[in-house]
């Protein structure tokens, strides 16, 4: 299915609450609408359509699911399912794969049943949480950072930046490390490994000196961890030379990586901070220290939503706040840039890249894979939607790999790197791609004209029928109009070779 159509279909369910034990399921005798709607939300509408039977039971139904909805009448369930039947299913040329063999991959030589792991955070902080995630289908978990520090968290400790629909676009936390003792965490590792031997445990650790980095690495290996992830990047633990303070000093990264490698025999990954201009110096230092891989990115230092009455930014803790870590889908472009930087660095050849930063859907994950990520870690999306998102992450990626004829995830790793350049200097500049207006979809809002007039090159006007008309002599092919169109009614059109001329002043 075309991504444009996916966006439109998802827009129809903007009011869906993605309920637990959804009332729409109880109201429907023939389908479980909630799972299908969730697949639409997570860009797996083709997978949802292929799970449907040939006959559409919604055709003559009076939609009791819509009446049972927690927002009665606000979610057009019957119309959404009808579009899955009538528009998406007929376009699906590849059947759902019968198994998940294509998803098998590895992390530093450790076999993974799929590339999806929980990243080190609150979503992987207890035995019960990890057990439920493993049961749901996650391949493993990077457990919340183990340390000998006495951790006491602030309350509240989260805040968010919301999009126009009210959903969380960016997420800030001032969360610190595991509040369990080292001994308690080791017991959790032993229990998880005994119950789920095929699931992978990455032990995130933070030491206060070389000896402690080594001791924690050894203990984690002895208690069942499959790999160690060195937390050189937590933005909320910078006091006293911890967290992101280490990740900004390559010499410390190299020294503490070497200490961890000397103490254990399992793979060691360095988790690096994005609060730098370039990640390569720290990554190269980690490799010199013996690291087998890099995990990136951790959260970005941030300040969010200053209260206009109290003048305190969020989250406010008794009248004060602090710089914290920013995550969520909003940081994905920054995370992609860092992963690509390291994947294109010949000095880092051979290092596994465990990528994270804003992954919500299988498309997000695939973008990281195409730019060099060998495994994918997720936190913020799980905090919003739960462990259940793994179903669509796996099914969407599996279906894509099948459609492309790939035998496994590894064949897709890095395929987007050759076309990506560090600067715009390498780009061809003699061709203009004009926008194409789809008049059957256009509603005549004029947003394209406004954007072009006030932010572009004054190349669009509305005619008497309120439809856009292009002035080809003025158009430079920037495609701002396509980005602002609420109907997605503007796409790339024909090309022309532009004559070089002096820019107007």
Q: What would the DSSP string read from start to end of 328-346? A: SGGGHHHHHHHHHHHHT-G
Q: Could you say which DSSP state residue 504 is in?
A: P
Q: Which two tokens stand for residue 186?
A: 């080791």
- How do the pLDDT tens digits run along the chain, 505 residues long? 444 555 556 677 888 999 999 999 999 988 999 999 999 999 999 999 999 988 888 888 999 999 999 999 899 999 999 999 999 999 999 999 999 999 999 999 999 999 999 999 999 999 999 999 999 999 999 999 999 888 878 889 999 999 887 889 999 988 888 888 999 999 999 999 999 999 999 999 999 999 999 999 999 999 999 999 999 988 766 556 666 678 899 999 999 999 999 999 999 999 999 999 999 999 999 999 999 999 999 999 999 999 999 999 999 999 999 999 999 999 999 999 999 999 999 999 999 999 999 999 999 999 999 999 999 999 999 999 999 999 999 999 999 999 999 999 999 999 999 999 999 999 999 999 999 999 999 999 999 999 999 999 999 999 999 999 999 999 999 999 999 999 999 999 988 886 655 444 3
* Cβ contact 483:455 at 8 Å: no
**pLDDT 10s digits, 353-367:** 999 999 999 999 999
Query: Which residues is 200 bridged to in the sheet?
Result: 140
State which H helix or E strand residue 187 sits in. helix 182-195
Give the list of residues 6+ apart from residue 263 with CB closer than 8 angstroms, or none.
213, 214, 215, 217, 218
* Cα distance between residue 114 and residue 102, in whole Å: 8
* Cα distance between residue 448 and residue 461, in whole Å: 8
The reported pLDDT for the residue numbered 502 is: 43
What are the residue ranges spanned by the domains of the chain? Answer: 3-91, 101-412, 428-497
> CATH code for 3-91?
1.10.1060.10
Q: Where are the alpha helices (DSSP H) in 23-173?
A: 23-27, 33-41, 45-50, 64-68, 77-83, 127-136
* Cα distance between residue 238 and residue 140, in whole Å: 28
* Cβ contact 269:230 at 8 Å: yes
Annotation marks residue 234 as catalytic:
yes
> CATH code for 428-497?
3.30.70.20
Going by C-alpha positions, the residue among 251, 161, 146, 163 that lies closest to residue 206 is 146
State which H helix or E strand residue 201 sits in. strand 200-205
Identified catalytic residue from 61, 65, 69, 234: 234
The reported pLDDT for the residue numbered 243 is: 63
* Cα distance between residue 306 and residue 322, in whole Å: 11
Q: Which two tokens stand for residue 274?
A: 């994005």
Residue owning tokens 């990586």: 257
Give the list of residues 6+ apart from residue 337 with CB closer than 8 angstroms, or none.
none
**pLDDT 10s digits, 388-429:** 999 999 999 999 999 999 999 999 999 999 999 999 999 999
Q: What are phi and psi of 205, to 5 degrees?
A: -135, 155
The reported pLDDT for the residue numbered 237 is: 64
The fold for domain 101-412 equals TIM Barrel (3.20.20)
The reported pLDDT for the residue numbered 51 is: 95
* Cβ contact 174:324 at 8 Å: yes
The reported pLDDT for the residue numbered 504 is: 43
């Amino acid at each position: 299915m075309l991504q444009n159509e996916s966006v439109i279909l998802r827009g129809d369910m903007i009011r869906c609450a993605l309920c637990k034990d959804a009332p729409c399921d109880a109201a429907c005798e023939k389908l479980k609408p909630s799972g299908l709607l969730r697949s639409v939300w997570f860009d797996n509408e083709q997978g949802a359509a292929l799970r449907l039977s040939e006959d559409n039971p919604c055709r003559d139904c009076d939609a009791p699911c819509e009446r049972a909805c927690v927002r009665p009448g606000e979610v057009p369930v019957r119309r959404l399912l009808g579009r899955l039947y009538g528009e998406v299913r007929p376009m699906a040329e590849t059947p759902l794969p019968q198994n998940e063999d294509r998803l098998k991959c590895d992390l530093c030589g450790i076999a993974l049943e799929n590339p999806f792991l929980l990243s080190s955070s609150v979503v992987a902080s207890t035995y019960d949480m990890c057990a439920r995630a493993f049961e749901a289908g996650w391949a493993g978990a990077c457990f919340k950072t183990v340390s000998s520090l006495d951790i006491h968290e602030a309350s509240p400790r989260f805040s968010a930046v919301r999009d126009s629909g009210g959903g969380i676009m960016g997420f800030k936390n001032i969360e610190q490390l595991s509040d369990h003792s080292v001994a308690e965490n080791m017991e959790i590792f032993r229990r998880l490994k005994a119950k789920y031997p095929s699931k992978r445990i990455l032990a995130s650790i933070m030491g206060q000196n070389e000896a402690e980095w080594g001791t924690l690495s050894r203990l984690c290996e002895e208690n069942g961890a499959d790999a160690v992830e060195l937390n050189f990047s937590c933005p909320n633990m910078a006091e006293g030379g911890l967290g992101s303070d280490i990740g900004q000093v390559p010499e410390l990264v190299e020294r503490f990586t070497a200490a961890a490698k000397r103490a254990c025999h399992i793979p060691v990954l360095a988790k690096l901070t994005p609060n730098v201009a370039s990640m390569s110096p720290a990554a190269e230092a980690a490799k010199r220290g013996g690291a087998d891989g890099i995990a990136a990115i951790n959260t970005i230092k941030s300040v969010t939503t200053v209260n206009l009455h109290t003048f305190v930014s969020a989250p406010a803790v008794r009248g004060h706040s602090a710089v914290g870590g920013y995550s969520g889908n909003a940081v994905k472009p920054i995370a992609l840039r860092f992963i690509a930087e390291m994947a294109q660095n010949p000095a880092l050849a051979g290092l596994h890249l465990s990528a994270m930063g804003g992954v919500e859907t299988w498309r997000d994950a695939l973008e990281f894979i195409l730019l060099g990520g060998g495994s994918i870690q997720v936190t913020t999306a799980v905090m919003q939607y739960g462990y259940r998102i793994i179903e669509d992450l796996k099914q969407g990626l599996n279906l894509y790999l099948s459609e492309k004829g790939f035998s496994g995830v590894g064949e897709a790793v890095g395929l987007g790197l050759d076309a990506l350049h560090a600067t715009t200097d390498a780009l061809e500049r003699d061709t203009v791609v004009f926008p194409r207006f789809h008049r059957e979809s256009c509603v005549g809002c004029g947003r394209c004209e406004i954007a072009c007039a006030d932010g572009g090159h004054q190349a669009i006007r509305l005619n008497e029928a309120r439809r856009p008309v292009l002035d080809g002599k003025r158009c430079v092919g920037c495609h701002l109009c396509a980005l602002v169109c609420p109907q997605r009614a503007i796409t790339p059109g024909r090309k022309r070779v532009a004559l070089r001329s002096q820019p107007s002043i």
